[in-house]
Amino acid sequence: MAPSSLLVSLDGVTVSTRRTGEPLLAVPALAVRPGSRTVVMGPSGAGKSLLLSALTGRLPGGVTLSGTRTAAPGLRIGFVPQRGAEALHPLLPVGRQLRMVTGAGTVRVGEVLAAVGLDAGALASRRPAELSGGQLQRVAISLAFLGSPALVIADEPTSALDNASRDETLRMFRTLSETTRSALVIATHDPLVGLRLGAELIQVGAGRVSFNDSLEVAA
Ligand X SMILES: Nc1ncnc2c1ncn2[C@@H]1O[C@H](COP(=O)(O)OP(=O)(O)OP(=O)(O)O)[C@@H](O)[C@H]1O
Q: Per rule CB under 6 A, is residue 62 in the interface with ligand X?
A: yes
Tell me how far CA of residue 189 lies from CA of 20, 42, 82, 186, in angstroms: 29, 6, 12, 10
| Stretch of 6-14, 39-47, 102-110, 131-139 contacting ligand X, by CB under 6 A | 39-47
Among 37, 48, 138, 166, binds ligand X (CB under 6 A): 48
Among 12, 21, 45, 57, binds ligand X (CB under 6 A): 45
Eight-state DSSP code of residue 100: H
d(CA 42, CA 48): 7
Q: Per rule CB under 6 A, is residue 81 in the interface with ligand X?
A: no
Q: Per rule CB under 6 A, is residue 46 in the interface with ligand X?
A: yes
- Compute the radius of gyration of the chain from its Cα atoms: 17
Among 11, 23, 24, 174, binds ligand X (CB under 6 A): 24
Q: Per rule CB under 6 A, is residue 60 in the interface with ligand X?
A: yes
Q: Which is nearer to ligand X, 48 or 138 (CB)?
A: 48
In this structure, the dihedral spanned by the alpha carbons of residues 72, 78, 79 and 80, taken in order and rounded to 10 degrees, is: -140
Q: How far is the CB of 70 from ligand X (least distance, A)?
A: 21
Count, in order, helices (H) and strands (E) of the chain.
7, 9
- Per CB under 6 A, residues contacting ligand X are 17, 24, 42, 44-50, 60-63
